[in-house]
Amino acid sequence: MAYAAKDYSSLVGMQGFSDASLQNHFTLYQGYVANINRVLDTLVGLLKDRKMAATEYAELKRRMGWEFNGMRLHEFYFDNLGGKGGGPSGKLAQGMAADFGSTEGWEADFRACGAMRGIGWVVLYQDAVTGRLINMWINEHDAGHPAGGQPLLVMDVFEHAFVTDYGLKRADYIQAFFGNINWGVVEDRLR
């Protein structure tokens, strides 16, 4: 069963994100979906032909995490956009207060992660074992994710997410991101 790209056209017109930037970002995401499908199809063929010792098989197995996580992280990112910003509430806010001192402490830490030099992702994870909330910098799609961590809020900080609209003013992009968070989606991800 092939993965299908989700339709995020409802985000077009979102405050702080140009239509051109969003359309380019959607196209990039659709490429990840197409690529993971190609990787999986090729791997099935190699397995069927019993070519698991082939270099191509090994390299595609290594590449699979990049393409899959590129697809899935973009889905988390687009899914947690389209809201009116505001702030977290309920159990999510309580968890942030417990683990960061306050929701303001959590937000300051999340923004600081997003402002760091480099490309990647900032992800608020929930530890599946303890329930603890942790903000993490993810440098590459396929590396650095905490085992068993549940992504709650995902912010793309690769240049394609902000340079078209903000140039090198990453802080302005982060501000626009916070103004469009759909906290209901984020809170629904909480376990």
48-106 per-position pLDDT tens digit:
999 999 999 999 999 999 999 999 999 999 999 999 989 999 999 999 999 999 999 99
SS3 content of the chain, % helix, strand, coil (to 5): 55, 10, 35
**Residue 32's pLDDT is what?**
98
Separation in Å, CA 39 to CA 3, 22, 52, 70, 88: 12, 26, 14, 13, 38
Residue 158's pLDDT band (cuts 50, 70, 90): very high
Question: Given the structure tokens 């010792």, which residue do they identify?
Answer: 53
For the chain, the average pLDDT equals 97
* pLDDT given for residue 76 in this prediction: 98
pTM: 0.95
On whether both 63 and 114 belong to a single domain, the answer is no
- What percentage of the chain carries pLDDT values higher than 90? 96
Domain that holds residue 128: 90-189
Tell me what pLDDT residue 1 has: 84
For 118-130, what is each residue's pLDDT tens digit? 999 999 999 999 9
DSSP for 53-105, written as a single string: TSHHHHHHHHHHHHHHHHHHHHHHHHHTBSS------HHHHHHHHHHHSSHHH
Task: Report the pLDDT averaged over residues 161-172.
Answer: 96
Judge if 172 and 117 occupy the same domain.
Answer: yes
**pLDDT, tens digit, for every residue of 170-189?**
999 999 999 999 999 999 99
Judge if 75 and 97 occupy the same domain: no
Last residue of one domain, picked from the residues 53, 79, 105? 79
Sequence-separated contacts (24+) of 35-43 with Cβ below 8 Å: 35/67, 35/70, 36/3, 36/64, 36/67, 36/68, 36/70, 36/71, 37/2, 37/3, 39/63, 39/64, 39/67, 40/2, 40/64, 41/2
6 Cβ partners below 8 Å, 6+ apart?
A: 75, 78
What per-residue confidence (pLDDT) applies to 77?
A: 98
Residue type, 112: A
DSSP state of 167: T
Same-domain check for residues 101 and 183: yes
In a domain, 3, yes or no: no
Based on the fold, state whether residues 101 and 147 are members of the same structural domain.
yes
Asked whether residue 97 falls in the same domain as residue 185, the answer is yes
For the chain, how many structural domains are there in total?
2
Last residue of one domain, picked from the residues 79, 100, 131? 79
Tokens of residue 63, six digits: 């590449």
**Average pLDDT over every residue of 16-37:** 98
Q: What angle do CA 95, 99, 101 make, to 5 degrees?
A: 100
Residue 172 is assigned to a structural domain of this protein: yes
